[in-house]
Structure 1
Amino acid sequence: MPQRMEYPRPQFVRNDWLNLNGEWEFAFDDENTGEREAWFEDGKQVFDKRIQVPFCFQSELSGIGETGFHDIVWYRKAVTLPPEFADKSVLLHFGAVDYEASVWVNGRLVATHTGGHTPFSADVTSALRDGENAVVVRARDYSKDMTLPRGKQFWEEKSRGIFYTRTTGIWQTVWMEPVEALHIDKVKLTPDIDKDQVGVRVFVNGSFGQSKVQLKTIIRFADVLISEDVITLQQNEESRHIRLYDTNGDKTGRKWTPERPNLYDIEWVLLVDGVEADHVQSYFGMRKISVEDGVLCLNNRPYYMKLVLDQGYFPEGLLTAPSDDALRADVEYTKAMGFNGARKHQKVEDPRYLYWCDKLGLLVWGEMANAYIYSEQYVSRMTSEWVEAVERDYNHPCVVAWVPLNESWGVPNILVDKAQQDHALAMYYLTKSLDPTRPVISNDGWEHVKSDLCTIHDYESSREVLAHRYGSADTAVSSKPGKRWIYVPGYARDQEPILVTEFGGISFRKSEWEGWGYSAAESDGDFVSRLAAVVHPLLESPIVQGFCYTQLTDVEQEINGLLTYDRKPKVPLEWIKAINEGKLPDMKS
């Protein structure tokens, strides 16, 4: 079975690491007795199942494939550390565990975490012993809690409508790595194309003592040395701006775009009294996303975004892709159809997907997995996990917009409820405070309060209606697709660029899957005609600056994808590309 053996964190790479994916012992704890009976201690409990991590037990690739409700699950794995871990501090990393996690090493609690889509780590050095070590994880989900940030995971047993099979427990890679006691914890990279420089903000973990601690930053482009910068660190957090000239003193000017995804290689060497203590490799792109005088710009030039809605589900692994190649293939399919971006919908996606978008050139709108019902507990859960999501993905050049809320999910009464309006405003300003470099959409689709872009969801299928509706900004903003106000009363558009960020949804059955869509095509020709009828009016609109077509693939019972659930094109990719270019395809060739 596939085990997802690729390095899981491509923007912060160390050479020495140990992948813990593969077979783990596993058990359901439906009676919630595991903690009381100390299942985390050696010999206290026989785990009666085996599971393939990082696939959730509901998925086929886990080896279990049980879709009933089991909200508390346990994992155990015996780990023997390789020789290169000797005399080092050891970090244990989890890419994502849905929803609450407790972790023990050799019976000692080393970490807890809340949030189903974001990573966490622990220094487990003091809990380790010679020889074999036991890593035990207890994961708890709340499958029926509609205030939980859950995305498309359904709170009923069988999938229906726009909701799909749940994910409980570990669903991204688990790994260990050895570090020195003093090591680099994280680095934030902020490109500035206007000043031809990159901001480097480094965070170092550990005590300096009386040692001289230096950070060497090495930047290359296409193996050509651009900069080698060395600074002496005075504290655990330091910031630095590095100009990007080549070795002859010339500006490099190699910007990142979907058409030319130029990437700089960057590495950091932490020196303690002149001796290397840590070495981390990464990359970045010189890219700027902005709104200038009401125009959406990429690198200070107007840029029309042609996005596709991508929910990131896979038939064998659900939220977890079966392989790194499968993630890359989704990016390649998207580009081959003439899209230059994707809106990752109701999911904080695997960092490996974002790596391929960075490398191959695809814009990404980063979106939170939303709850469905508002409560004070929801606000706390949502806020803390969203902060972690923005921090995790800040360095990716492909990420060009943040979407904390979608279609009033979690805030269903935002039109009239001041508290819910204030929550949407808080998420907008919180996101801006964490990242002032990207636009933020407070509530994608409708019922906006404050947003940097005016985004509209509109599943109208008539070419004539769409042409009229998007003939002017006034008619677009005053329209009520789905019988929803575009702005909450008391708020209004102030020259923000208008994008139609969900539309289409044409169902076309080309596999054994039964399902539904927003409108139905009966043949290849009918599908092409329907697709052109919704895409071309937006391309021809004098006021629309981008769109997001629903959707990349079928997902379970939802069959309005351009690809089937198992990633087979419903019509030739070049036909869709032609439509995205404002043309009609030659269906005879």
Structure 2
Amino acid sequence: MSYLKITLAILLLGVSATLSAQEVKNADLLQNIESRDKISLNGTWEIIIDPLENGYYSHRYQPRRNGYFKDDQMKSPSDLVEYNFDTDLQLLVPGDWNTQLEKLYYYEGTVWYKKDFSYEGGANELAYLYFEAVNYEATVYVNGEKVGSHIGGYTPFQFEVSSLLKKGDNFVVVKVDNKRKREAIPTINTDWWNYGGITRSVHLITTPKQHIADYSVQLEKGSTTNIKGWVEVKNAKDGESVTVSIPGLKKSVTAKTSGGKASFSIKAKPKLWSPKNPKLYEVKLSTASDEISDLIGFRTIETSGSKILLNGETIFMKGISIHEEAPFKTGRVTSPEECRILLGWAKELGCNFIRLAHYPHSETMVREAEKMGFLVWSEIPVYWTVLFDNEPTYANAQNQLTEMISRDKNRAAVVLWSVANETPEGEPRLHFLSNLAKHARALDNTRLITAALDTQGFRDGSKFIEDPLGEVVDVIGINNYCGWYSVDPADCGMIKWATDYNKPMIMSEVGGGALYGMHGDKTERWTEEYQADVYKNNIEMMRNIDFLAGASPWILMDFRSARRHLRRIQGDFNRKGLISEQGMRKQAFFILQDYYLNENK
């Protein structure tokens, strides 16, 4: 476990800082897990609901040596063991607990998960326990021994557990805690459901002891003919060979490792990835002991004044915002099929761009979007009023940003890294977000940095973008709910916008709510007619913004939110979707569709 993650665990969890001899170091994240040898640990897991955390703390509130992670069993009728995973409840993984068990609908706290699995292993291999996401704090044990912890509900993490596994039967226990905390990322108050649990897939991945751990393959910034990158080889000695080949381009190069990495450069003229032609090339990486392959696209993304240029040409980003909420059944998205349904609706809407709000969505979602030709805005959950003057909060945010970029750096579809949404102006916030932007650029200088802003003033009769964060980002996102939270919809079309920043603007949120099937006059709240009128007038407003480079209205589909209490209309759903949670299109869907298909070709 890195020093940063240990520090986060201490400060945010308040548990002991001492690492036992059995704790296993959290390895750097493996790239491209679909190309690995792996055993799926998905399916039914045994669980114990533990709101008082009795499985971790004694009655003196001290960590227990024989907590639930030991999976103790009665050995004689007189033994006292006050828990039993095998006779308790069960949940499906991946999945959230809120929609699987009615008693856990609003639950926030600790649930223990346990899974038995078989492992045969090999003398020359390493084993990694890989979690695609657990919300929010996960403490992982293998065969009763702690291997480490992770904070953050939307990014993957792994532990190298070879030394703890034995041939035959093994078990893993995960303590999952989704309690909201003021100092966390996100913080206490959000407008989406706090789905708890092991919400994405779990794998046991095996590799050779010397293996390809990570890599970056993309066009050099400013070039369409020079593919550059690096390959990190775990346990490599200096001078070992790494081969990178792209059969579709008839190109291959061999580089030598130095300090565990081999850097390379390939001169080529790839067909550039774009929404109209989402071309992906097979890229093969190999060493003497390991070989993996990936599908990678090549494109350029940059700005010129108020324009966004994809492959050197201006593109208007016709988008929609999407939450990781499953269609029809709601709850967390857990399958490729659910990803494809959401993306299919966005394609029907006429989109070439999606904003994956307000946190990193699954790798499956990003890869499916890439195949279908969507540009992607990817975001970390620095949302509303986090503790901008708290160092551990910043460390948490930076770690989540690092994990997001690490996972998706080879995805051509991702063109925007977003560092925040609707954060209040102030010096601590500006310092916090400026440092995040700087960190993102240090990790990846080939993409654009953005943030969704919601504070605008007035100057000379125009809405004026004056947020100082505009100086920091490459593309300015603006959330503006004209006709819903301010003024009448009819007044929106007359609003003019101005800015001192010579940068592109994306209207990152705009819209209003409606209950599908509720009809009435366009002046009546919650009717489809009211929502449609909001869209008509906001589209008129956007037509008059000469520095507008795109839009991602809020939102594709209705989604659960504990903030939304209006019975018979909201019922724990944010109703700003263009499509209901049951897949029914509202009138506003067709208003936006017409704008995208007929005006912005």
Tell me the SS of whatever aligns to 1:430. helix
Partner of 2:586: 570
CA distance 1:279–1:319, change in 2 (3 Å): farther
Given the alignment of the two structures, is residue 342 of structure 1 paired with residue 354 of structure 2, yes or no? yes
1:130 matched to 2:167:
yes
1:328 to 340, 361, 365: 340
- Give the structure-1-normalised TM-score: 0.81
- 1:34 aligns with one of 43, 47, 55: 55
Aligned to 1:257: 274
Q: How far, CA to CA, are the matches of 1:167 and 1:350 in structure 2?
A: 14
CA displacement at 1:463 relative to structure 2? 7.3
Distance in 2 (CA, whole Å) between partners of 1:169 and 1:12 is 21
Pick the aligned partner of 2:550 from 546, 549, 552. Answer: 546
Alignment of 1:83-102 (within 5 A): 87-102=124-139
SS in 2 for 1:432: helix
Matching residue within 201, 204, 215 for 1:187:
215
Relative distance call for 1:182 and 1:9 in structure 2 (3 A) is closer
Please point out which of 488, 501, 509 is paired with 1:502. 509
Tell whether the 8 Å contact from 1:316 to 1:322 is kept in structure 2 after alignment. Answer: no
Q: How far apart are residue 359 of structure 1 and its match?
A: 0.4
Q: Give the Cα separation in 2 of the matches to 1:347 and 1:112.
A: 20
Which residue in 1 is equivalent to 2:247?
A: 220
Sort the Cα spacing of 1:328 and 1:92 in 2 relative to 1 into closer, same or farther, 3 A. Answer: same
1:197 pairs with 2:234: no
1:365-404 residue pairs with structure 2 within 5 A? 365-371=377-383, 372-374=385-387, 375-376=389-390, 377-404=392-419
2:72 is matched with 43
The residue that corresponds to 1:291 in the other structure is 303
Query: CA 1:530/1:72 → structure 2, altered by over 3 Å: closer, same or farther?
Result: closer
1:561 is aligned to 2:567: no
Deviations 1:226-273 (A, max 9, x none): 2122223243012111122xxxxxx34x111112111111121121xx
Show structure 1 runs of 5+ residues with no match. Answer: 1-7, 156-161, 245-250, 272-276, 478-492, 585-589
Indicate whether 1:454 and 2:454 are aligned: no
CA distance in 2, matches of 1:331, 1:468: 33
Name the SS for the 1:330 alignment partner: helix
Determine helix, strand or coil for the equivalent of 1:550. Answer: coil
Distance between the aligned counterparts of 2:123 and 2:523, measured in 1? Answer: 58
1:11-49 Cα distance to aligned partner (Å, 9 max, x none): 443352111000111112222222313222242541221
Contact 2:535 2:591 in 1 (8 A): no
Helix, strand or coil: the match of 1:404? strand
CA deviation map 1:318-372 (0-9, x unaligned): 5621421110111111011111111111121001000011101111111111253
Q: What SS does the corresponding residue of 1:581 show, helix, strand or coil?
A: helix
Q: How many residue pairs are counted as aligned between the two chains?
A: 518
1:539–1:582 Cα contact (<8 Å) kept: no
Amino acid paired to 2:577: G
- 1:518, 1:560 within 8 Å by CA — same for their partners in 2? no
Cα distance between partner residues in 1 of 2:410 and 2:39: 24
What is the CA–CA distance in structure 1 between the aligned matches of 2:331 and 2:359, rounded to whole Å?
A: 8
Instruction: Return the offset for 1:438.
Output: 1.5
Q: Is the partner of 2:217 in helix, strand or coil?
A: strand
Match of 1:75 in 2: 113
Structure 2 unaligned residues grouped into runs of 5+: 1-28, 57-63, 74-82, 456-466, 561-572
1:383: Cα distance to partner? 2.0
Aligned to 2:261: 237
> Which amino acid counterpart does residue 547 of structure 1 have in structure 2?
A
* 2:442 match: 433
- Distance in 1 of aligned mates of 2:263 and 2:177: 39
Distance 1:280 1:367, change over 3 A: same
Distance between the aligned counterparts of 1:554 and 1:435, measured in 2? 33
Instruction: Report % sequence identity.
Output: 22
Matched residue SS, 1:429: helix
* Deviation, structure 1 residue 579: 2.6
Q: 1:52 aligns with which of 92, 103, 106?
A: 92
Q: Match of 1:169, SS?
A: coil
TM superposition score normalised by structure 2: 0.79
RMSD: 3.0
- Residue 453 of structure 1 aligns with an amino acid whose one-letter code is V
Output the CA distance in 1 between the equivalents of 2:182 and 2:290.
Answer: 44
Which letter does structure 1 place at the counterpart of 2:241?
A: Q
State the Cα distance separating 1:314 from its structure 2 match. Answer: 2.4
